[in-house]
Structure 1
Amino acid sequence: MIYSLENSKIKITASTHGGELHSITGKDTGTEYLWDGNPTYWKYHAPILFPIIGKVTDLKYKVDGKIYELPQHGLARTSEFNLLSQTEDSISFELKYSDDSLMVYPFKFSLISTYKLSDNSLTVNYQVRNLDTTDILFSIGAHPAFMCPINQNESLDDYYLQFNEKETSSIFVPTKEVFLTHEKNEYLNNSAEIKLSKDTFKNDVLIFDNLKSNKITIKSRNCTKSLSVEFGDFPYLGIWAPPTGAPFICIEPWFGHADYEDFHGEFKDKEGVISLPTNKEFNCSYTITITE
């Protein structure tokens, strides 16, 4: 089921399917900022990545010597959440473990996605609760796709991404199957700007792990509309669009990443995996702000 939430500046819709954001509309201009899920390019809007990000080798991973199987980005984005609560300015959905989930992910958990409006901003919070009798293991991340170009009369070449700090940073080198190698390529040298073009994603996703910035903004050289994502203390940031081209850009704050191409160990030893003690909760959030 689709639910809506709005204030004087912004209107959103979100679904119980995947607990996923479906729309972000600026009310001053009626502009849609979130990708519409057209399957010609990509059928999602802003999926939640849990309990893995990217892919595990052969779609399989190991917990205490037992092999489990999960699709790319895990189980949350294709699961049905329940409406947990709705107020004047926020809405929350919850996914809890089930007999089916325990077959592919052997931990008892609660995952809550909350969307809260404030002026021209939307804050997205993910909360993971350990309902098990032992530590649970997971990664979690966001995968929102934003319209780019924002205006139909523009092209991707009119746009750029701007960090809030000048960066000297490298990116991971992925394999063709989008696993990680142990190599990195220099990418930014005392620069805050990434120019966008059809070649930006020719090698697939850009993955950063050593940024000073905590905010990135999609900007046009021709108009004042923009959208920023403040990603706080997420240790990894992915930036992606289909290498074949599409009218959107994904800005993805992550706790965790895909497997290294040579990783075959236990899930607990995978880089970026969080271990959460019983009866504890983990929270992370990012904020989307539109300027019109």
Structure 2
Amino acid sequence: MVTIENEHLVVQIKLKGAEIASIQDKETGHEYIWQADPAYWNRHSPVLFPIVGSLKDGQMVFAGETYEMSRHGFARDMEFTLQNQTDVSASFYLKSSATTLEKYPFEFSFQINYILQGNTVTVSYEVLNPSSETALYYSVGAHPAFNVSQDEATEEFDRVSLEFIPEGPYSRLPLTEDGLINATASKYERMDKTYLTHDDFKDDALVYQVNQKTEMVLRDEPAGVTINVNPSHMEFVGIWSPYPKRAPFVCIEPWTGIADTTQASGEFAEKYSILQLAPNDLATHGYTMTFTKDV
């Protein structure tokens, strides 16, 4: 476990998946991150790479060859290498190998940087295409799960609200039972301050298209906690909590891409929202999480 900290927060990060395992408020001891109770969901904040969501039939085709990859890709289950660490920052990397090439036919170098400043954690993803000849196709996403309050009797969220800033209409992309995007059923929803219920997630994650100015605000009124999530070069966000299980956490997930659509051809280069990185090029994406706790 790698630990970084300052006067406000203590952040712990696993080498497996370079996954944040804990973010604690130093003054109050409050734990912001879900602690992976396997009865509900055995992860904390997995990193999604080189895909986000599901492939149609669990497969993709590239250069005439068929490859199989499970939902959200393989990075979250692989050991990263610690590249650099200071008191308030840590960097990890994962590179393509014979193992990854069996599932994903691209060379890559994937670096994740965590920087702690005040009560804000900045996460950045650097994707490098080391090939001098072949373009790299990929998506990357975050999946942090935040502890929230529940009513003990009903196991319903207790005054937990979500707000998009600026308020207004955002395109929602619904998921099918197979975890694919039904693009033909997309519609605009006005994202004002909304109190969440578990029934909101009966059809899986709520997926929205956002822009560079969009900020998601999660408020837990009984705990006196506010969490602000600001994506950078991440055009989608998923909001999720398990259903029908009633777990006391909510995920806010900035993504660069989404699952295959129901109409997907299976050709990876044609995948909806897939990113293309030119040979020897580098792309950066990221987001910030700012934590406020009433004393």
**Larger mean Cα displacement after TM superposition, 227-236 or 154-163:** 154-163
Aligned to 1:193: 193
Residue number in structure 2 paired with 1:12: 11
Match of 2:157 in 1: 156
| Aligned counterpart, 1:92 | 91
Instruction: Tell me the equivalent position of 2:103.
Output: 104
Q: Secondary structure at the match of 1:199?
A: helix
Deviations 1:128-177 (CA, angstroms, capped at 9, x unpaired): 11112311110111111111128989951311012221122341121111
Return the letter of the residue paired with 1:228: N
Other-structure match for 1:215: 215
For 2:211 and 2:285, locate their aligned partners in 1 and report how far apart those are by CA, in whole Å: 18
1:14 Cα deviation (Å)? 0.3
**Structure 1 residues 284 and 212: alpha-carbon distance in aligned structure 2, compared to 1, 3 A threshold:** closer
What does residue range 120-159 of structure 1 map to in structure 2 within 5 Å?
Answer: 120-133=119-132, 134-149=134-149, 156-159=157-160
Q: Distance in 2 between matches of 1:163 and 1:210?
A: 9
Q: Is the 8 A contact 1:163 1:213 kept in 2?
A: no
The AA in structure 1 aligned to 2:49 is: F
- The answer on whether the counterparts of 2:150 and 2:158 sit within 8 Å (CA) in structure 1 is no
Task: Give the direction of change, closer, same or farther, for the CA distance of 1:152–1:165 in structure 2 (3 Å limit).
Answer: farther
Q: Secondary structure of 1:37's partner?
A: coil
Q: 1:233 maps to which residue? A: 233
Give TM-score scaled by structure 2 length.
Answer: 0.93
Rounded Cα–Cα distance in structure 1 between residues aligned with 2:265 and 2:259: 12
| Number of equivalences | 290
1:221 deviates by 3.5
User: Following the alignment from structure 1 to structure 2, what is the Cα–Cα distance between the partners of residues 32 and 218?
Assistant: 15
Q: 2:270 and 2:186 mapped to 1: Cα distance?
A: 25
The 2-side partners of 1:225 and 1:151 are apart by: 16
Q: Is there any run of 5+ residues in structure 2 with no aligned partner, and where?
A: none
| Aligned-CA RMSD value | 1.9
Identify the residue that residue 176 of structure 1 maps to in structure 2. Answer: 177
Deviations 1:84-115 (A, max 9, x none): 11012100111011111111111111111111
Distance 1:180 1:145 in 2: 22
Structure with higher strand content: 1
> In the alignment, what sits opposite 2:32?
33
Confirm or deny that 1:274 pairs with 2:289.
Answer: no
Structure 2: distance between partners of 1:229 and 1:54: 20
Q: Deviations over 1:195-249 (max 9, x none)?
A: 2112111111101114585211111334532111111331111111112121111
Query: Could you tell me how far apart the structure 2 residues matched to 1:32 and 1:145 are?
Result: 11
Query: Aligned-pair distance for 1:194?
Result: 2.4
Q: Which residue of 2 aligns with 1:80?
A: 79
The code of the aligned residue for 2:236 comes to Y
CA deviation map 1:52-77 (0-9, x unaligned)? 11110121101111101111100100
- Asked if the contact 2:149/2:223 (under 8 Å) is kept, the reply is no
The answer on whether the counterparts of 1:165 and 1:212 sit within 8 Å (CA) in structure 2 is no
Task: Tell whether the 8 Å contact from 1:52 to 1:73 is kept in structure 2 after alignment.
Answer: yes
- With normalisation by structure 1, the TM-score equals 0.94
Instruction: Summarize the Cα distance change of 1:257–1:90 in structure 2 as closer, same or farther, 3 Å threshold.
Output: same
Label 1:212 to 1:105 Cα distance change in 2 as closer, same or farther (>3 A). Answer: closer
3-state SS of 1:101 partner: helix
Equivalent position amino acid for 2:234 in 1: F
Matched, 1:49 2:48: yes
Matches of 1:288 and 1:72, distance apart in 2: 25
Equivalent in the alignment of 2:256: 255
Shift of 1:262: 2.4
Residues 154-163 or 116-125, more deviating: 154-163
Deviates more, 1:10-19 or 1:227-236: 227-236
8 Å contact 2:91–2:112 — kept in the other structure? yes
Q: Indicate the SS of the match to 2:183.
A: strand
Secondary structure at the aligned position of 2:272 is classed as: coil
